[in-house]
Chains A and B, each alone.
Chain A
Amino acid sequence: MTKTKANDLEQALSRSRYEWVDKLKELGRELRRDTAGFIGVVLITALVLMAVFAPLISPHDPTEQDLTARLVPPVWYEKGSWGHVFGTDHLGRDILSRAIHGSRVSLWVGVSVVSLAGGFGVVMGLLAGYLGGRTDAFIMRWVDTQVAFPGLLLALIILAVIGPSLTTVVLVLSLNGWMVYGRMTRSAVLAIRQSPYVEAAEVVGCRWPRIIFRHILPNLTSSLLTLGILEFARIVLAEAALSFLGLGIQPPATSWGLDVSMGKNYMFMAWWLVTIPGCAIGITVLAINLVASWLRLISDPQEREKQFARHMAGSMRKAMVLKAETERRQP
């Protein structure tokens, strides 16, 4: 008797293993109804694809110099040519190719900084919030000290010691950015640890690592995801700023910030040098923000239901009327 019941349970469990596919499909349907969020996701997907396949799609080598074709304007000018769609810079390098390759740096820095700083900050916040007492005091004073210390100064010190490189940029930005995650996670943990289901896990005899990672962390994901995405936008800007200041990516490597910085001397005779990479930064940040605001919307269940009702109420009502009609016709 119990055997068959256990079999039923196991079967039901294995059937439900792929429920997340349906949930993902549902999410996709809702994304398509939200224009702004949809545009954001499309843009980001395009950016990622561009970064991954950069060598295949860029028309030129981004570092290839051609001193005979310096400061060629974009194609829609009289002097422009289809060989360089967005023109060339002061060393005759193709702007479009540089912009395409620059996306690699931005996205790479963004992804690695968000995962490094986010991972560290979230773990610190979880420990501080759940363990409390001295652990909490120690971690939070550490956070306070670091927040009080000017980030740019820290960046300068590290860069002066190690020397500027892609790795250094990631390191510096991660060191500067983990505190946000730490603070937010801690306050969320303080709220969740009061909830009866966490107490239930304690009563049942779970040790603290299990409670933190199995009971508390999964319930933080949606807010952390939104924060991470917003931070991603901030990191893209910060990397551009560091590179602009000459502290980030070093030539001959390419970066949008670096390109803006090099183009600023030619701003008045060749506007496209700063504008094209500048637009790339702007579009990226905008797209990320669009996705973040959509995520925030759907991670609130009430708001999500409202969105759903706004789009679906009409068709659902029609279906209901139709069903009632057919039922009435065949009693």
Chain B
Amino acid sequence: MTPAASPLVQVKDLSVFFDAGRVGFWGRKRLTVHAVEGVSFDVYAGETLGLVGESGSGKSTTGRAVLRRVPATRGSIHFQGRDITHIDREQVRALSKHMQLIFQDPFASLNPRLKIFDIVAEPLFVHGLVKNMRDAAEAVAMLLERVGLPPDAGARYPHAFSGGQRQRVGIARALALKPRFIVADEPVSALDVSIRAQVVNLLQDLQVEFGLTYLFIAHDLAVVRHISHRIAIMYAGKIVELADRDLIYDSPVHPYTKALLSAVPIPDPPVQRARKRIICAGEPPNPMDPPLGCRFQSRCPHVMHRCRWEEPPLTERAPGQRAACWL
């Protein structure tokens, strides 16, 4: 196999269950949240895989399981061909040089008591990559410049910055260790529209410059179109469709993908009003008690008898497009 064809990250049949306590008088019945169930995907070096789903779909949990932030209940995770599913804490720490995370909330993800310099330099210090202040200052100044912040920003505290600028600081921190793989957990959904594009463009530039690979998590299909090469749609802990970007938008297969597409409002009143929208009534199933068969059955407009009893597998529908639906 050529190196380009071997995936950087390989997730096979990943399941993550959380213990949600016990119920009943003696606590006999255990509650388990099925956050992620049987998810498999590959991420190739240099590409961006968009992971789209609504709250409770397990997209963030998947991202964190790949980073070994939450333990996998079943399945395996390979990074650069090495199985990292069961490595110990110290090895996870060493792995942080190669895999990083960008957070959703630019306000809560920076420690309010630390200066920007301390925040960005911290990874360098804890991994012993810089020895003195001078080296740290050089590295931090370079990183800040790369994400579009002036060097003297390092002397200020996070509260002096706007949301977009803080997100740049978060990106600089993630880049400090020169990782190969970055999980971006809804990095722009808390930002204003005019700033959102700046940050997405910055992420794209950095991808080219540093040869980064992204797992880009988002809650709708609007922004991922610009940054992703392939997109995986998650619903209630499962991947329902995984396809090349344009296939998702031009010829979606799964009814949930179609619903997601039609739910994105278009900023053009006549078009938006005239649009035939698929309003899928109802809400996702209870993750503690997932239904038999397809998880989308309760909201699906095309539900059939088979959907209620048999779970549809993720099968190839077109070259580069797989979907889990009996239709």
Contact = CB atoms under 8 A, between A and B. Distances in A.
B97 interface: yes
Interface in A1-47: 2-3, 5-6, 8-13, 15-16
Nearest to A8: B151
A219 B112 CA distance: 8
B69 A2 contact: no
Given A5-B142, A6-B138, A215-B111, 13 more contacts: A5-B141, A6-B142, A8-B141, A11-B152, A196-B105, A196-B109, A197-B108, A200-B170, A200-B173, A203-B101, A205-B123, A206-B126, A218-B113
Contact of A9 (B141, B173, B177): B141
Given A205-B123, A206-B122, A9 B96 contact: no
Contacts of A199: 69, 101, 103, 109
Contact residues on B (Cβ < 8 Å of other chain), bracket: 35 or more
- Which of A13, A210, A215 has its CB near the most chain B CB atoms (within 10 A)? A13
A74 B216 CA distance: 80
Closest A-B pairs by Cβ, 6 of them: A12-B155, A12-B152, A196-B109, A5-B141, A205-B96, A16-B155
Contact of A6 (B69, B112, B134): B134
B122 to A, nearest CB: 6
Contact of A204 (B126, B142, B150, B156): B126
Contacts of B94: 205
A167 interface: no
11 contacts: A6-B134, A6-B137, A8-B151, A12-B152, A199-B69, A200-B103, A200-B173, A203-B100, A204-B100, A204-B123, A204-B177
Contacts of B127: 205
Contacts of B103: 196, 199-200
A207 interface: yes
Nearest to A197: B111
B110 interface: yes
B22 interface: no
Interface in B40-64: none
B145 interface: yes
Nearest to A217: B113
B122 A13 contact: no
A2 B141 contact: yes
A8 B173 CA distance: 19
A302 to B, nearest CB: 14
Nearest to A194: B108
Interface of B: 67, 69, 93-94, 96-97, 100-101, 103-105, 108-115, 117, 122-123, 126-127, 133-134, 137-138, 140-142, 144-145, 150-152, 154-156, 170, 173, 176-177
A13 B137 contact: yes
A3 B96 CA distance: 28
B138 A16 contact: no
Contacts of B101: 199-200, 203
B137 A10 contact: yes
A195 interface: yes
Contacts of B112: 197, 219
Contacts of A5: 141-142, 144-145, 151
A201 interface: yes
A200 B167 CA distance: 13
A143 B187 CA distance: 42
Interface string A208-220: 0010001100110
Interface string A248-286: 000000000000000000000000000000000000000
Nearest to B105: A196
Contacts of B152: 8-9, 11-12
A207 B123 CA distance: 11
B138 A3 contact: yes
Given A10-B133, A13-B117, A201 B122 contact: yes
A244 B126 CA distance: 53
A6 B93 contact: no
A11 B137 CA distance: 10
Nearest to B112: A219
A16 B177 CA distance: 26
B115 A16 contact: yes
A10 to B, nearest CB: 5
Contact of A197 (B69, B110, B145): B110
Nearest to A13: B155
Contacts of A10: 133-134, 137
A197 B109 contact: yes
